[in-house]
Structure 1
Amino acid sequence: MIEEDLLLKFGAKLTSFDKGEILFRQGDIPRYYYQIHTGAIKMNNFNDNGKEFVQSLFSVNDSFGEPPLFIEDVYVTNAEALIHSSLFLLPKDKFLQLLKEHPTTHLAVTVNLANRLYFRSIMASEISSQEPEHRVLKLIDYFKIKVNCIASDQKYLVEITRQQIANLIGVRVETVIRSIKSLEKKGELFIDRHKVYR
């Protein structure tokens, strides 16, 4: 998204986060611009019953959590590392200074935010209308191709759990288990020693 050299020039630090580590929580005051160098991040929140709702997924070169930086408000979601990840963290004041001094980068950030809103509209429609098997496969392919950068014709070990898949696509874990078994019968996935491969 923003060139790494430019981020470093303005004082960004490359920081590592373990799988499951929280970067920020709902209600926190934003302090940094985040850009992923390696790994994957999810933004989520929970309802009153503790059920997780995944808002967005982000992977290499993606940025996230920018809106509160611009509107002087708190985060409305949590951000959590899905796998071990390294990110560039640029303090808010330096981020805003960077945008003022580099209008082309500012435009790129704006376009990125617009694309994200457009993508969310499409995904909201797909999640509400597509069958669970389709959603499971789309999510696995997202992790295979976008997060882990594995070619579509190469074998991929699905590292996220069935429960995590359920949380990410908004279904019960039992539905995910049934979908995976059905997809195996159709030849879309295969299972070896309880491990799922695509």
Structure 2
Amino acid sequence: MFRSINRWFLVSINPYNMINEDILFSFGADLRTYDPDDFIFSEGEVPSFFFLISSGKVKLNNYNEGGKEFIQGIFSRGNGVGISSLFTEKSYPVNAVAVEESEVIRLPKAQYLQLLQENPDNYFTTIQSLSEHMHYKFLMAESIAFQNPAQKLLTLMNYLKDHHHDQSKYALQILLTRQQLASLTGLSVETVIRVIKNMEKEGILKIKNRKIFY
């Protein structure tokens, strides 16, 4: 279960161009620690808070009737989760679940909207974050609908590579498990393993100690 920690001041500045953590705490935010597999919010809940990841990783997912997981995205430090639902007055369409032990800043919705009104620059960073997420969703939606398994994995890895500082071959370590790759692309784990082995044979990627480099 999560552990709640109140903090009114942090010296760290968000390096991912979202919102300065100190500003969030000055508006009454608190910091909560979640263990792996803890739910931060659940599908169907009415949004009441703005959530910003301070450390760790959080995934947005859904489960079908058979219990199969589909991961909508995996987010790390500096990313907000569930932001769009704060502006729609609709319930969350996804779950937010901690992938590893994570610290998440939580600010009540009313205070978050007040923060945006009093700090207009943060509107721009919020729009940037939402736009980047929409870009990813459009890429993956097209990939899942029309592409073969290898192309689906390449679409995901190319997206990750585009945001990496080193564009040289094999410079990017894919920090996702085979299961996570499957859940992000709508493939089975067995298909992911088979396709990755074929991609290694073709020189598209390299595997070292079971780690994937692209």
Evaluate the alpha carbon distance shift between residue 163 and residue 191 of structure 1 in structure 2; reply closer, same or farther with a 3 A threshold.
same
Return the alpha-carbon distance in structure 1 between the equivalents of residues 135 and 175 of structure 2. Answer: 28
Q: Which residue of 2 aligns with 1:31?
A: 48
Q: Which residue of 2 aligns with 1:197?
A: 212
Give the superposed CA RMSD: 2.8
Percent identical residues: 37
Evaluate the alpha carbon distance shift between residue 128 and residue 171 of structure 1 in structure 2; reply closer, same or farther with a 3 A threshold.
same
Residue by residue, what CA displacement relative to the aligned partner does 1:131-151 show, whole Å, maximum 9, x if unpaired?
3234335546777896xx896
Superposition pairs of residues 39-58 of structure 1, within 5 angstroms: 39-58=56-75
Q: Which residue of 1 aligns with 2:144?
A: 127
Given the alignment of the two structures, is residue 6 of structure 1 paired with residue 23 of structure 2, yes or no? Answer: yes
SS, match of residue 51 in structure 2 = strand
Q: Which residue of 2 aligns with 1:168?
A: 184
Given the alignment of the two structures, is residue 18 of structure 1 paired with residue 61 of structure 2, yes or no? Answer: no
- Preserved CA contact (<8 Å) 1:2 1:105: yes
Given the alignment of the two structures, is residue 182 of structure 1 paired with residue 182 of structure 2, yes or no? Answer: no
Given the alignment of the two structures, is residue 85 of structure 1 paired with residue 93 of structure 2, yes or no? Answer: no
Return the alpha-carbon distance in structure 1 between the equivalents of residues 103 and 179 of structure 2. Answer: 24
Q: What's the offset of the Cα at 1:23?
A: 0.9
Between structures 1 and 2, the one with greater helix share: 1
Q: What's the offset of the Cα at 1:115?
A: 3.6
SS, match of residue 73 in structure 1 = coil
Return the alpha-carbon distance in structure 1 between the equivalents of residues 145 and 74 of structure 2. Answer: 17
Return the alpha-carbon distance in structure 1 between the equivalents of residues 160 and 99 of structure 2. Answer: 10
Residue by residue, what CA displacement relative to the aligned partner does 1:40-91 show, whole Å, maximum 9, x if unpaired?
2221112222222222332221112123322333211111122332222112
Return the alpha-carbon distance in structure 1 between the equivalents of residues 27 and 82 of structure 2. Answer: 19
Evaluate the alpha carbon distance shift between residue 143 and residue 89 of structure 1 in structure 2; reply closer, same or farther with a 3 A threshold.
farther
List runs of 5+ in structure 1 lacking aligned partners: none
- How many residue pairs match? The answer is 193
2:195 counterpart letter in structure 1: S
SS, match of residue 8 in structure 1 = helix
- Tell me the TM-score normalized by structure 1: 0.80
